[in-house]
Amino acid sequence: MGAAIAYSVRQDSVYEAESAIRLRDVSADLQLIGDTAPTLQDPGQAAALASDRMDDLPLARKVKNALRTPISAQALADAVQSGVELRTALVVIKIKSKTPGVAARVANEYARQASRDVIDQQRAQFARGIQTLREEFRAQRRGRDRDERNPDFDALTRSQFDQAIVRLETLRNFSRGAEVAQRATVPDDPVSPRPVRNAMLGGALGLALALMAAFTRDALDRRLRGTSEIRQELGFPIIGMMSEDGMGATGASLNGNRRPLPEPDIEAVRILRTNLAYLDVDNPPRTVAVTSALPEEGKSTVAAALALALGLSGKRTILLECDLRRPSLAGRLGLQQAPGLSDFLAGTSTPQEVLQVIPLPSEGLVASADGTQGTAGDTLVCVTAGNIPPRPAEMLDSDRMRQLLAQLRDAYDAVVLDTSPLLPVVDTMALLPEMDGIVLCVRSGQTTRDQAKALSLALGHLPTKPTGVVVTAVQPGREESYSYYSYAYGPTAKSS
C-alpha cells in the first residue's frame, strides 16, 4: 500500500477533456431533388467512419496547424481516442494531457476539423451529382441539335434540369452533415493519479492486476474475435472460414500462380460452397455478392476461391470483378486487367473481348451438395475490372449493368461478384438488390464492433437477402477455427 501511495505522489497529473460531433441525416434534404440526388451514407455509417479516421495523420496535421502548437502531429494522433454512440450518431472525442487547458483546446479543435471533413466529403458528393446532371443536359441538347424534332428535349426539360441543379447547389452550399454537438470544457480534476484508489489496489496487487488485465482488454479492445462475437454483432450465420495463411491466395495453382490455398482452407471453401446452398434451401442462391465492411478483409480471396469451388463441382460459373476502384483478381489469377467490366459498361468493348477463360485443374475435384461431379477440362470464366473509370458508382448503378446481370444469370449456373467494401463507398449498394445471396467477409481481430454495427445498418436499408458470414484471417488452434483447422484427417501409416 505504501508503494502505491509513493508511486501516485511521484506521477504527473493527467487531465482528460471530451468533445463530440453529431452526424446529421440529410435524407430529408435529398428528397427535395428526387432521383437525381447522389447516394449518401446514413449517420450511423458516417459516424463509424469518422471515428475510425480520428487518429489519421492528415486530420492531426490540420489540428496542429489550426492551434499553432509545437506538439507533433503524430503525438496528437496518438493522444486522441474516439467512439460512436450509434443511437444518436455521436462521435465522442477524448484527449488526455498534463495541462487541462491544452486537453480542452485540442478536443475542441478535433471536433471542429472532423466536422469540416465530413461536410467537405458531402459537398464533394453533391458536386459530382451536379456534374452528372450537367453532362446529361449537354447530351440531350446535342441530341436536339442533331434532330430538332427530338421530343426528349424542350423548354420544360431544360427547366427541370435547371431546377435540379439549383437545388443540388443549394444543398452543397448550405447542407451540414456534421456539427459540433458538445464542446470540451477545461477539466477541474485529473483522471490520474488517484492516491486513494491506488492504495486500495495495492492491498491486493497480485489478484487485482490479473483481473484488471483481463477486463481491460475486453473493455478497450473493440475488435471482434471469434465466431461467437461476430455472430452476435452481425446477427447472420457463420457459413465459412479462411485461415490467415490463406489470405491473398487462390483456390488452386492457376495460370502459373504459385500460391494456392493451404489444404485446410481448400476443405473450408468446400464447406462454404455447401453452406451457401443451404442459406435458402428452396431456392439456393445463384448470384452471390462477396463484400466486406472495409478493405483488406479477404473478400477477393473468398470470391475467387468460392468461384473455383463452384466451377470444380461441375457448375457453369463466372467470376465478375465489380471492385472497380481497387481491382486485384487479374494479378492473382494471371489474367489481363483490361479490357474488363468497366470497358464493357462504357460500351468500348464487346462481351467476347472481356470474357477470360481459366482452365481448372483436374485433380482434387469434389462433388457438390447435389451430387454433381466436375470433370477434367472444366473452366472458370472471369471478367476482370478493366480500366479504372472516373465514376464507378454510377457505372455499376446503370441499366446496362442490370441487364448484364440478368443475362449472366440465364447463361450460368453460378455468378460470383467480387464487390467493393460497403462502408467507404456506395458502389456495392446498387448491386445487392439484384443478388440472390450475400457473403460478408469479416477479418478476425481487425473488424471492430463499430464497423460491424455500421455494416448491419447499411444492410438494413436494403431488401432482405439470404446472408452468411465468412470469418477470415483465422489463426489455427483458436476457438473460432473449428476442428478442421486444428486436426489433420487422412490415411494413417500402416503398422509393421
Identify whether 496 is part of a domain: no
Q: What one-character DSSP code corresponds to residue 24?
A: -
Residues 349 and 328 sit within 8 Å (Cβ to Cβ): no
Write the CATH number for 335.
Answer: 3.40.50.300
- The span from the CA of 57 to the CA of 187, in Å, is 26
Whole-model pTM: value is 0.54
pLDDT of residue 4: 44
Answer yes or no: do 402 and 273 share one domain: yes
Answer yes or no: do 233 and 318 share one domain: yes
pLDDT of residue 495: 39
Domain end: 153, 182, 211, which one? Answer: 182
Answer yes or no: do 233 and 177 share one domain: no
Answer yes or no: do 149 and 59 share one domain: yes
Written as nine digits, the cell of 110 is 478535433
pLDDT of residue 189: 87
Answer yes or no: do 287 and 379 share one domain: yes
Answer yes or no: do 61 and 169 share one domain: yes
Residues 360 and 309 sit within 8 Å (Cβ to Cβ): no
pLDDT band at 144 (very low <50, low <70, confident <90, very high): low
Model confidence at 266: pLDDT above 50: yes
pLDDT of residue 363: 52
Written as nine digits, the cell of 414 is 453460378
**How many CA atoms are closer than 13 Å to the CA of 20, on its beta-carbon side?**
14
Judge residue 493's burial from the number of C-beta atoms within 10 Å of its C-beta, 0-12 exposed, 13-18 middle, 19 or more buried.
Answer: exposed
Into how many domains does the chain fold? Answer: 2
The tens digit of pLDDT for each residue in 311-368 reads: 988 899 999 999 999 999 998 888 999 999 999 999 999 999 999 998 887 554 343 4
pLDDT of residue 343: 95
Identify whether 212 is part of a domain: no
pLDDT of residue 374: 46
Identify whether 114 is part of a domain: yes
- The span from the CA of 80 to the CA of 93, in Å, is 7
Q: Domain range holding 436?
A: 227-483
Answer yes or no: do 290 and 430 share one domain: yes
Identify whether 203 is part of a domain: no
Higher pLDDT, 126 or 191: 191
Average pLDDT, the chain: 80
Answer yes or no: do 85 and 168 share one domain: yes
Strands (E), 308-404: 317-321, 356-359, 379-383
Answer yes or no: do 249 and 108 share one domain: no
Identify whether 492 is part of a domain: no
Domain end: 158, 182, 206, which one? Answer: 182
Identify whether 177 is part of a domain: yes
Domain end: 147, 182, 217, which one? Answer: 182
Answer yes or no: do 246 and 386 share one domain: yes
pLDDT of residue 233: 85
- The span from the CA of 27 to the CA of 273, in Å, is 39
Identify whether 299 is part of a domain: yes
Q: Is the peptide bond before 193 cis (omega within 30 degrees of 0)?
A: yes
The tens digit of pLDDT for each residue in 47-61 reads: 888 888 888 999 999
For residue 319, give every residue at least 6 positions away whose Cβ sits within 8 Å of its Cβ, in sequence order, or none.
Answer: 303, 304, 307, 329, 380, 381, 382, 383, 416, 418
| Strands lying side by side in the sheet with 437-443 | 238-243, 467-474, 437-443, 287-292, 414-418, 317-321, 379-383, 356-359
Residue 194 CA to chain centroid, in angstroms? 41
The tens digit of pLDDT for each residue in 212-248 reads: 665 565 555 667 777 778 888 888 999 998 888 888 8
Write the CATH number for 6.
Answer: 3.30.1890
Higher pLDDT, 181 or 154: 181
Identify whether 494 is part of a domain: no
Model confidence at 137: pLDDT above 70: yes
Residues 450 and 89 sit within 8 Å (Cβ to Cβ): no
End-to-end CA, the chain: 66
- The span from the CA of 379 to the CA of 402, in Å, is 25
Answer yes or no: do 231 and 120 share one domain: no
Hey, how many other C-beta atoms are within 10 angstroms of the C-beta on 73? Answer: 18
Answer yes or no: do 155 and 261 share one domain: no
